[in-house]
Amino acid sequence: MPHRDDKTVGLILVTYQSAEDLPPFLDSLPAAVEPYTLDVICVDNTSTDDSADLVEAFGGRAIRNSTNVGLSAAINQGAAATEAEWLLVANPDTRLSPGSIAALLETARADDRIGMIGPGIARLDGTPYPSGRRFPSLLIGVAHALLGGVWPGNPATRAYFGEPVTTVRDVDWISGCCMLFRRTAFDEVGGMDARYFLYFEETKMALDMHRADWRVVLDPSVEIRHREGGSMRHAPFRKVRTHHRSALRFYCDYHRNSPWLVFAPLVAAGLLVRGALSLLRTAILQRR
């Protein structure tokens, strides 16, 4: 087993048309990680802007993919390029508060079974962004999918998001916009599931952690800011297609040994209808 540096945070920064978001993110990074040292690896998925150049100018290393391999595969590339024991995956559209990553790391170090930990999250305007969510049941998932866009406060969506987490505790899964991994746990579960090009990749990773008896934890005493949308602002139609494809894949993975798997064709049909409506709505918004 190679020697791992437990005093260094290996930041895996996957970029795709991220130049607009990167400067404030990179500005927030050193104060968030101190006193730990930082190893920054940018994995760029065919950006046509200067995303990778900005990270190199900051002092990071860049892996420039010739094709867009997706988020999960890119994270695995970044993990393979660092010897850090702590792996931080953060979106370029986040803003890290001073001491935030160091605080997450200290919480994780307190228990060797914490494999995956995330902070509390707020949008740029300060409103809470749900994290520490539940794995949804079939009925809650369907109702949330159908009603969430038109009635955000519906009971199914509230149940899906769960009650706000106010103390450090175990959760089903955390938002993928900022995740800190213990390298031992990351390697044990085989890294990110590369079948997930985008969306639900953090949910599947949390599921793998639970199944391998690692803890998935949210620390709400740490807060970061998140600008929703990120690079997918440049590809709204791909966003809709990929989201629904990943949702079906996760349903099948979650219920792989369950009788609920028999309902996968119905779930697929429902997602197909919802996806078509989402594509239509996106097309109308694009025309406006």
Q: What is the pTM of this model?
A: 0.92
pLDDT on residue 95? 97
Residue 79 confidence (pLDDT) above 80: yes
Q: CB neighbours of 213 closer than 8 A, spacing ≥ 6? A: 113
Percentage above 90 pLDDT, the chain: 72
Q: What is the CATH number of the domain that holds 174?
A: 3.90.550.10
Residue 84 confidence (pLDDT) above 50: yes
Lowest mean pLDDT among 11-15, 25-29, 129-133, 232-236: 232-236
- Contact (CB, 8 A) for 21 and 89: no
The mean of the pLDDT values for the chain is: 92
Q: CB neighbours of 69 closer than 8 A, spacing ≥ 6? A: 45, 77, 194
The pLDDT-based confidence of 148 (bands split at 50, 70, 90) is confident
Residue that the structure tokens 């050193």 belong to:
30
Distance in angstroms (rounded) separating the CA atoms of residues 165 and 120: 8
Closest Cα to residue 146, out of 157, 131, 160?
Answer: 157
The pLDDT-based confidence of 235 (bands split at 50, 70, 90) is low
> Which helix (H) or strand (E) segment is 117 a member of?
strand 114-123
Q: Is 28 domain-assigned?
A: yes
pLDDT, average across residues 197-218: 97
Q: Is 160 domain-assigned?
A: yes
Q: Is 157 domain-assigned?
A: yes
CA distances from 233 to 109, 176, 217, 222, 237 (A): 36, 17, 29, 27, 10
Cis, bond preceding 35 (omega within 30 deg of 0): yes
Q: CB neighbours of 190 closer than 8 A, spacing ≥ 6? A: 208
- State which residues form the domain around 140: 5-228
pLDDT on residue 282? 74
Reduce the DSSP state of residue 49 to 3 states and report it.
Answer: coil
Q: Is 244 domain-assigned?
A: no
Residue 258 CB burial class (10 angstroms; 0-12, 13-18, ≥19): exposed
Q: Is 161 domain-assigned?
A: yes
Q: Is 11 domain-assigned?
A: yes
Distance in angstroms (rounded) separating the CA atoms of residues 34 and 101: 8
Q: Is 240 domain-assigned?
A: no
Q: Is 83 domain-assigned?
A: yes
Coarse DSSP helix, strand, coil percentages of the chain, rounded to the nearest 5 percent: 45, 25, 35
Distance in angstroms (rounded) separating the CA atoms of residues 44 and 18: 9
* Tally of domains within the chain: 1
